[in-house]
Amino acid sequence: MADRYLSFTGTAPGRFLTRRLGLPQPAPLKRWSPERAGSPGDRLLLTAGKSDLQLTDLGLDLTASSEKPAALLLDATGVRDVETLAEVHAALHPAVRSVAESGRVVVLGAPLDPTDHHQAAAQQALEGLTRSLGKEIGRGRTVNLVRLTDARAAESTLRFLLSPKSAYVSGQVIEVGAYDESGAPADPDRPLTGRTALITGGARGIGEAVAETLARDGARVVVLDVPQAEQDARRVADRLGGIALALDITAPDAGERIAAALPDGLDVLIHNAGITRDRLLVNMPAERWSSVLDVNLASVLRTTDALLESGTLRQGGRIVATASIAGLAGNAGQTNYGASKAGIVGLVRSLAPRALAEHGVTLNAVAPGFIETKMTAAIPLFIREAGRRMNSLAQGGLPIDVAETTAWLAHPASGAVNGQVVRVCGQSLLGA
Ligand SMILES: NC(=O)c1ccc[n+]([C@@H]2O[C@H](COP(=O)([O-])OP(=O)(O)OC[C@H]3O[C@@H](n4cnc5c(N)ncnc54)[C@H](O)[C@@H]3O)[C@@H](O)[C@H]2O)c1
């Protein structure tokens, strides 16, 4: 399962040979660790156009000059026409080269104005710039765009995108809504303290990493998995000081059984359980179709409805569902899986505004690309190798990358992030 090519290109002969042959040059990504938590490095703030954003109050440690910034934040919210886009070029052109390895570029844009097509054209242009720069910047660096109107609402999002926690998130456009002051956690280092988080499929793979990360952030975790995986679920739960729940999420009364197991309520619901049963559609029996649709989509709809309606998911709650780039781009042999994961996107877009208005709960999706797990280890060698390299970072992601993205969406201060589908795919070429 280990990425031997990445290790090889990390050596001097490996670098020499792969450069000569014109092969991908993945850079080892610098991910978050407790040791790295304290020193983010210089974060350079640049501006294009006339901005009204109040970024300086956020305590993000931004500077106006730096020779080798770890991150570059470009405030382009004031760009209202094509002429002012020249200021975007003028700001980035001299600075991009100096951004450190595994550094971050975050562009701030404004929502598109439906009454001003010049502003909309210029702001949409930032999206093309972001995605193109992400593809050319290299050396483990990422580029993302955040559309916002109030900087305070975007604080948790900016902290995430500027940090090593977002190592495998690139080429994304994230919309941040209105500010809600109720979200500031008492302990910024353990923002989920006092909150209960349930992770479906938490016994292994991405779900296990999500459980670990939410526990790190202070949550009491409930690790749900099928009865056959109960031992593994218990092992994970015991290690994290949480509880295990042996339950097949496709049981018609799964939502009611979760509610009964959690009489004190739930704050964070992570729909992570998922299966694949690949076959070309022409060879696919109805059972393979329906089992994937049931685990990956129908059970997500059923449990979400049950836990919202019963009030088990409390005010201020967070739901994160798991889509996939296969649901955005399609994938041969995965009509069932692609349909189920596209269905997650439909669910999120439709329900998110109502879940927030009626229950005070946000609903977002993560869409992983190629993540190194048992699921992807089972892919035949050559397809697996292609899947790993076909993204701007030229490598697969790790379960922790999806987990960190989930933790940002689950953060109490992320209440203004709703209805978003965030790809954790190293800017995969599939469906981009
Ligand atoms: N690994 C990837 O590259 C990748 C890419 C895109 C999306 N995803 C999605 O991420 C999620 C996790 O993937 P993973 O790679 O960690 O998979 P995995 O197979 O390693 O783990 C999935 C877990 O879900 C559990 N599960 C399956 N059916 C269940 C059910 N009916 N009830 C309760 N639990 C059930 C399994 O027992 C297992 O513990 C899935 O939704 C998957 O579709 C993964």
pLDDT at 18: 76
Is residue 258 within 8 A of residue 198, CB to CB? The reply is yes
Q: What is the pLDDT of residue 278?
A: 94
CB 107 within 8 A of CB 145: yes
Q: What is the pLDDT of residue 380?
A: 86
What is the CB < 6 Å shell around ligand 1? Answer: 200-201, 203-207, 225-226, 229, 248-250, 272-275, 295, 322, 324, 368, 370-371, 373-376
Cα–Cα distances (Å) from 160 to 106, 361, 413, in that order, read 11, 20, 12
The single-letter code of the amino acid at 35 is: E
Structure tokens belonging to residue 334: 């995965």
Q: Angle 385-382-275 (CA atoms, 0-180°, nearest 5)?
A: 75
What is the reported pLDDT for 197?
98
List, for residues 380-404, the tens digit of each pLDDT value.
888 888 889 999 999 999 999 999 9
The reply to whether 168 belongs to the active site is no
Picking from 414, 352, 363, the residue whose alpha carbon sits closest to that of residue 165 is 414
Tell me the domains of the chain and their CATH numbers: 24-175 (3.40.50.720), 186-424 (3.40.50.720)
Residues of the chain with pLDDT under 70: 1, 38, 431-432
| Distance, CA of 316 to CA of 267 (rounded, Å) | 7
Q: Which atom of ligand 1 is nearest to the CA of 326?
A: 6
Nearest 5°: CA angle at 74, between 50 and 364?
Answer: 110
Q: How many residues does the chain have?
A: 432
Atom of ligand 1 lying closest to residue 273 CA? 24
Rounded to an integer, what distance in angstroms lies between the CA atom of residue 5 and that of residue 280? Answer: 30
Q: Are 5 and 385 in contact (CB under 8 A)?
A: yes
Q: Give the pLDDT of residue 303.
A: 98
Catalytic residue among 5, 168, 179, 337: 337
DSSP secondary structure, 262-292, as one string: -TT-EEEEEE---------GGG--HHHHHHH
Q: Compute the distance from residue 204 Cα to the ligand 1 centre, in Å.
A: 8
pLDDT of residue 296: 98
Helix 299-309 with 335-359: angle, nearest 10 deg: 10
Angstrom distance (rounded) from CA 51 to CA 80? 10
Give the distance (Å) from ligand 1 centre to CA of residue 397: 15
Cα–ligand 1 centroid distance for 201 (angstroms) = 6
Task: Report the C-alpha gap between 303 and 277 in whole angstroms.
Answer: 22
Residue owning the nearest CA to atom 23 of ligand 1: 201
| pLDDT tens for each residue of 283-311 | 999 999 999 999 999 999 999 999 999 99
Q: Indicate which residue's Cα is closest to atom 7 of ligand 1.
A: 324
Query: 230, 232, 205: which is closest to 374 by C-alpha?
Result: 205
Q: How many angstroms is it from 340 CA to the middle of ligand 1?
A: 13
Q: Write down the pLDDT at residue 245.
A: 98
Pocket probe mutation, ligand 1, options 371, 374, 400, 430, max atoms within 8 Å of Cβ:
371
